[in-house]
Chain A
Amino acid sequence: MKRIVLAVLSLPMVVFAGGFQLNLQGIRSVGMGGAFTGLGSDASTVFFNPAGMNNLTGHNFTAGFNYVTPSVSLQTPETANINQTSPNATPFHVYYSGELNDRMKFGFLINNQFGSTSSFDDNWQGRYIIQNISLKTFMFQPTMSYKIHDKIFVGGGFVYTYGSFSTEKAVPVGSATTKEGKAKLSGSGDGVGYNIGIFSNVYSLVKETSTTDFKVGISYRSQIGVDLPGGDVEFTDIPVSLQNKFPAKTTFVSKITLPSVFTAGFSVKHTKNEKYSLEFAYDLNYTGWSSYDTLNFDFANNDTPDSKTTKDWQDVFTHRFGLDFTYKQKYSVRVGAYYDNSPVKDGFVSPELPDATQLAYTGGLSYKINDMISVDFSYIRQSAQRESSLESANFTAKYNRKVNVYGIGVNLKFGAKPKETAPSIN
């Protein structure tokens, strides 16, 4: 297990809409369009809604990863076709939720909630804007959940984030022997935040041959400021006369703010005996991308002009829908869709992150091997086009992006006591 995790850690991530948020935090959720906040049926609820842990009994492990294969092409007025050379990515997640007692649950998570990797040929037309960029984040979140009342749970966790960032771009200064310079920035840092939620099994309609459960959940993941206090800057191929301005080595200070995410969701599950169940889930995310208003790099070397980029992103809603059909509690098929509003305004669309408002489709399967172990598969299909500019750089392009995401996960469950009847409250 450890070895797998380490191998995964070293792989990059790819942006695929939703700003640079990776909405791939649970394989079952992905199959249902990313909805899960009002569902809480496996350990990934530690992320989606900490309060949902009170739905689970015993010890629950969920682990999974996604394989993201993006294909992005651009067209500028000057160049008919430019392909991004971004690598495929494998963001992963590990969740645990366990029982302390009937009212208290404890859990934790490790996952990649945000990340992006974009790369281009070094000598492409927009090389003075970006050659490549990579942001990776790792979250660790110890979490508690408490049953206030039979139907109402609350939960919360403390989030520790480690982030690493690197980027390269060309510097438009040349000499007789060098065509242009290059700037390479790399740094890492950490930040903290929290994740809280409330979950309610609102209502169950029990009939002779079927039950229908209504559940709702609300969660809030706070904004996290990842400080990059001492990043390294390397300037190469700089003419001798400009090396005071662009020294071979200096350092930078920066901060990347990861946005808050507020989610309200519900689910309705109709179970027919032991034969089948049909479940519908809906999540509404409100992501506070307006926190990403600027990206600044202050260089330690006084003569190096500090870099300030206005991002001016906006808060956005995302709608997520999913349907799960489970046969004999063993085989599940899922379909879903989500409508993702791009946080990037027209005039601020940068080739490193050509985000577009889009409707994407998802699907998934599960197979329950036995009461202890089950496996999940998921798939996302994205296809988006956008034509916009980055006004500050006077760069305009048409973007065409298609992404396939394949996910696989495993769930382990043990130590669950047979269900007791809930104590009556007098």
Chain B
Amino acid sequence: MNNLKYGTLILFAFSLSSCLKTEFDEYTNSSGSANFSTFISVGDSYTQGLQDGGLHNEHNQQDNSYPAIIAKQMETSFVQPTVSGTGSGYMFLAYRNEKIVVVKPYDPDVLDNDAEALTYDPSYTNWVDKTVKYNNLGVGGLNVRNVVSRNTTEALEYHIYMGSSAPGVLSWNGVSGEPIVSYGRFLDWGTIGARREYIDNVISSNATFFTNWLGVNDAMAWSKNGGDPNSGAYQLTNPAEFRLKYDTVLAVFKAMGAQGVCANIHDITESPFFRTVTLEAVKKDIWIKEGADTTIIRKATPDDLLLLSSSSLIAKGDGLTQANPLPHQQVLDRDEVVIAKNYIQQINAQIYASAAAHGYTVVDMYAFMDKLNKGMTYDGVALSVKYIEGGAYSLDGLHPNSRGNAMIANELMRVINATFGSTLRPVAIANYGGIVFP
């Protein structure tokens, strides 16, 4: 019996000593050789946090801009010019007659707006306090050529008439020196007599760290308007000018001693905006008018990209006959696709050269977005380029949704860590919202 007691005692002691602690220690984060204390992001609508064809925040869309996500992981303060209410107005999904429909934002220039279309919030016309120093300097519609003007002509063309996708009522008021594009109104643009440029807003930021994803709009504005260069806003920026002004931005960062990373330009022609209204999906012959400089009317081939915006025209019967082709602004025809793709390669070469000359690393967004467009999965969430269902792009088919922004943030942080020896933790994609279904 003693043996039994003894044995039991041993067994008991053994199992007590082998406690069941399996918890992992909390991560200790370090910034490595980087200084994240004043972090700013420069860029266009992709950086500003625009989704669904507008700037809005009712489900934290703007709060989840990729730079804001990065800043959270850096544990540094990050002030964004956050809109309220419906923001600038945006697209949303409605469920009607057992069908999911996309409701476009209210457009004052057309007569057939959807009854439920969302217009800009009244607060949007004075949505900002210009005395605040914002960390997110992303401005929807900003091209590299707009960051600084070399002469008065450029100032008028690029600065005052910066590409506008905002409602007319929000345009230039002729007094305060604001640019036409309402997305930039939160910055201090000075007065007409004493202009402040975008670059001046960058200089006054005194950044210690930056991300720079300028350049997307230089390729996108032209492409998403069917390759129409007639309006000044929709040009492909001249590559030499692109390089010169990209250099200016990096020289400014270098002069203030800021560290950071640049991102190159992804192939926007592979976005859902260009890949949803396919002949396969329409199941009809579609007649198109070729680009602005030709009058050729022909049947669309699979190499012609019908824009997402053309779907409502096709629904109304446009493009179904030779007599009534789709207008050229609704098609990026096969020659224009080649132009856009080549242009992106061209300006990416300039970005790499400029970054190398100033000692900055480039994040290969081109490769990353290519991977996403081919289909990616994170933590059991499958994402693809498919419009709405794909789950990474927002309803405008160009800008990523919050989930897509989280992925982009992770990719940038991965490169920041590799470059500066920091340990920024990636975020869990699952915790960011995708499409809001009705």
Contact = CB atoms under 8 A, between A and B. Distances in A.
Interface in A72-101: 72-81, 83
Of the candidates B3, B431, B438, the one having the most CB atoms from chain A within 10 angstroms of its own CB is B3
Contact of A379 (B1, B15, B428): B15
Interface in B4-26: 4, 7-8, 11, 14-15, 18, 20-26
A125 B379 contact: yes
Interface residues of B, number: 41
Contacts of A83: 22-23
Interface string A61-78: 000000001111111111
Interface stretch (A33-41, A197-205, A289-297, A398-406): A398-406
B11 A379 contact: yes
A377 B11 contact: yes
Interface in A385-413: 392-395, 398, 400-404, 406
B356 interface: no
B49 interface: no
A229 interface: no
B8 A69 contact: no
A194 interface: no
B380 A242 contact: no
Interface string B414-437: 000000000001111011011111
Nearest to A126: B379
B395 to A, nearest CB: 14
B299 to A, nearest CB: 34
Given A331-B4, A363-B14, A175 B436 contact: yes
A275 interface: no
B11 A363 contact: yes
B110 interface: no
Contact of A406 (B1, B4, B15, B59): B15
A175 B438 contact: yes
Of the candidates A126, A128, A179, A240, the one having the most CB atoms from chain B within 10 angstroms of its own CB is A128
Nearest to B100: A241
A395 B22 contact: no
A175 B414 CA distance: 31
Contacts of B431: 125
A129 interface: yes
A377 B8 CA distance: 9
B377 A240 contact: no
Contacts of A247: none
A172 B406 CA distance: 15
A365 B431 CA distance: 50
A286 interface: no
Nearest to B73: A78
Given A174-B433, A333-B7, A365-B4, A381 B18 contact: yes
Nearest to A363: B11
B215 interface: no
Given A392-B377, A402-B22, A333 B428 contact: no
Chain A interface size, as a band, is: 35 or more
B3 A77 contact: no
Of the candidates B18, B24, B98, B425, the one having the most CB atoms from chain A within 10 angstroms of its own CB is B24
Contacts of A240: 95, 438
Interface in A328-385: 331, 333, 363, 365, 367, 377, 379, 381, 383
A363 B7 CA distance: 10
A262 interface: no
A41 B145 CA distance: 88
Contact of B24 (A129, A377, A400): A400
B20 A402 contact: yes
Given A71-B22, A176-B436, A126 B95 contact: no
A239 interface: yes
Contacts of B438: 175-176, 239-241
Interface in B330-387: 376-381
A333 B436 contact: no
A402 B377 CA distance: 30
A81 B23 contact: yes
Nearest to A394: B377
Contact of A367 (B4, B59, B391, B433): B4
B338 to A, nearest CB: 34
Contact of B21 (A71, A169, A393): A71
A242 B437 contact: yes
B426 A78 contact: yes
Contacts of B27: 80
Nearest to A129: B380
Given A125-B430, A172-B434, A394 B376 contact: yes
A69 B381 CA distance: 31
Q: Which 9 A-B pairs have the closest CB atoms?
A: A128-B380, A239-B437, A71-B20, A129-B380, A73-B22, A241-B95, A393-B380, A75-B24, A81-B24
18 contacts: A73-B23, A81-B26, A128-B430, A129-B380, A172-B391, A172-B430, A174-B436, A242-B437, A365-B7, A365-B11, A377-B8, A379-B14, A379-B15, A393-B379, A394-B378, A398-B24, A403-B20, A404-B18
Given A173-B435, A176-B438, A241-B100, 9 more contacts: A69-B20, A80-B26, A129-B379, A175-B436, A175-B438, A331-B3, A365-B4, A381-B15, A400-B23
